[in-house]
Structure 1
Amino acid sequence: MTQRADLPPCSILLLAGGRGQRMGGRDKGLIEWQGRPLIAHLHRLTRSLSDDLIISCNRNRQQYAPYADQLVQDESNDFPGPLAGIRAGLAVARHTHLLVLPCDVPRIDAQLIDAMRQSAAPAPGQTADAAPWRALGTLAVYHSARAARHLRRCLAER
């Protein structure tokens, strides 16, 4: 899949900034699956979709650098969660739309990503949820970068 002319350009944010608690503290994006780090699988799937590939990582920046155009990290060092990574990504995103994916979904497919982009395109500012993946507890949403102000308010209220 490549960039589609009928959809607005989008930045892509891969979330890899977690504490890795369920993985014994290991950096999830760097855990190998089928002989490659998880982040490499997402990079392969998303690279052709954007000229602005962002990875949110709070450690191992040198290992993530080859997979991204930009690296971001949370403002706080205490791993506040995925919203903090999304906030950091929104702050640097070069396009008005931002596709946000966690690093631990190597089997997400191009059809789902395309459907998410299509559903969000006509309604900027709204979020398209990947309902088929909700049962697996993954985060796979498509945000308009204009949501940054709203996200800042949500984080401030926490």
Structure 2
Amino acid sequence: KDATHNCSAYMIGEQNQIQKALDDGEPSGTAGVPILEVLKKKELKDTAVVVTRYFGGIKLGAGGLIRAYSKATSEGINATGVVIRKLMRVISTTVDYTWLGKLENELRSSIYQIKEIQYLDQVNILVYVEETQKETYIAWITELTNGQGHITEEEMLYLEEEFS
């Protein structure tokens, strides 16, 4: 509540269709736009940043404000980290326990990521699969299990991976 300025910017959409920069009382273009430019430079999507400034009696001038807001944005992003969110299809494969060892071993050494293994009367293995890889994955699992696996397509979920 003691903040002098809460300046912000955001970019939303796969093609950055929605962009907004707010200076919150700072001289025009010295706060929100530099924050937005950092988001653009880092190619971040669906991201919002708020930089809060408490006036300490030092006048930074336009150039100093631009540098301060840009630096605060970059340092904040670096400190929090960036994740890549991929929309994935969850595919369920239900097999008898006799297939578990082989199937789990093959999956763990593949490009696919296991979401969960459910141990019921049969084993149900849930795997994240990119939509473009769905048919390839299903054919691979069918071959691995000699057609013994019951395969169903489940929900679509976002999977987050750290970006380095």
Range into which the TM-score falls when normalised by the shorter chain: under 0.3
Name whichever structure is richer in strand by fraction: 2
Answer 1 or 2: which has greater helix percent.
Answer: 1
TM-score if structure 2 supplies the norm length? Answer: 0.24
Q: Which has the higher contact order (CA 8 A, sep 6+)?
A: 1
